[in-house]
Amino acid sequence: MSDLSPLFEPYTFRSGVQVRNRLALAPMTTISADPDDNVSAAELEYIARRSTGVGLAITAVAYVTPGGKGFPGQIGAEHDGRLDSLRALASRIKAQGARAVLQIFHAGHNAPPELVGGDVTSASTVPSPQPGRGDVPVRALSGDEIRAIIADFGHATRRAAEAGFDGVEIHGANGYLIQQFVSGHSNRRDDEWGGPIEPRLAFPLAVIAEVRRAAAQAGTPFLIGYRFSPEEPHEQGLTMHDTFALLDALRAQELDYVHVSLQDYAGTPRRGGHPERSRLTQIAERLGDTPLIGVGNIWTAQDAAHALDLGATFVALGRALLLEPEWVQKVQAGRTDLRGTFSPDDREALTLPEPMWGMLTGFMLKDRLQAAPHPEPVTG
């Protein structure tokens, strides 16, 4: 049996933020915000329970500008009227002893037209590859609009700090706007924001710089993390070679951590890199001393320990914490009775908001389903 003690070692990030262990709550879409996109009471109960054992709790993603909303029931961080909502979220997480991180994004061409006034935007006019989205018109952002969105990431970071969060995670994964700029499939620009891989990195690097500028005003240690997806299946999509260029750029930023979005933490690359070595190991090697959060199909304590062995500094738990909110406490106590399945009668016992439960079980109400073509995958 693997030594589990590394999972429970404390850690101090470059920013000075300290965490009690190497386990994190993965950011998972709840589609359960109040109708005004403030955090709901059900979301607060859901995340508070799952923050009791982890060192780091990363929220469901919040949009930073109205045109960047990605799905219904999503929380907003796009104006100062959200501060009370964000304060409630941060305080419930921190009351459980975890560090609170607000994930922030712009959906880009994955935004449902009805949620953004029909004005779906991206790096270029390339439509979303999501099923059923091929005919949705996409408008390329102007240079001024790009700079305004970069500023909006900074404003959202400032709000997160004011609300008491310990940091933000820039969501550059899962095919949303930041990844759309990095990808040669979705970025066909010929200006300063497009071309070969190096200029395609200009947008995420500008976002990081703006977030860092805003975080510096916090007055207390404040985390900056970045999440990315290493590969895309489409033609001209991201390969591991592109990702290595991104990782080199991220390593130079000296971020607190980088968080890879994977379906399987031990999976191997499809295109580029070494075909027989895990993506996680190759990513960790490329990042050097930049901490790495690994995620994807981690269910047991042995899975989590193996992820550390492959090169992760931290392990994010998604579905495992959905089904076993006390996963961390049970593993630390040496227990192995971890729930791995659920029944239709388990929603209240698992403290899951009804819309999230509907998404998980496939019985979401028809009107919400029509408005949410493809929320961020719930992975762990």
Tokens coding 325: 């909110």
Question: Is 48's pLDDT higher than 70?
Answer: yes
Beta bridge partners of residue 225, listed in sequence order: 169, 257
What is the tens place of the pLDDT at every residue in 218-274?
999 999 999 999 999 988 899 999 999 999 999 999 999 999 999 999 999 999 999
Residues 6+ apart with CB under 8 A from 166: 17, 90, 94, 99, 100, 101, 221, 222, 223
Of the candidates 176, 226, 257, 265, the residue annotated as catalytic is 176
Whole-model pTM: value is: 0.94
pLDDT digits (tens, 9 = 90+) for 279-328: 999 999 999 999 999 999 999 999 999 999 999 999 999 999 999 999 99
CA dihedral 315, 246, 160, 215 (to 10 degrees): 120
Q: Are 318 and 376 in contact (CB under 8 A)?
A: no
pLDDT higher than threshold 60 for residue 369: no
Domain boundaries, the chain: 5-371
Provide the CATH topology of domain 5-371. TIM Barrel (3.20.20)
Q: What is the pLDDT of residues 152-168, one digit of tens each?
A: 999 999 999 999 999 99
Residue 176 among the catalytic residues:
yes
Nearest-5° Cα angle at 216, 254 to 122: 70
* Among 184, 191, 291, 188, residue whose Cα is nearest residue 243: 184
Kind of pairing, strands 11-12 and 18-19? antiparallel
Cα 73 to its chain centre, rounded Å, is 16
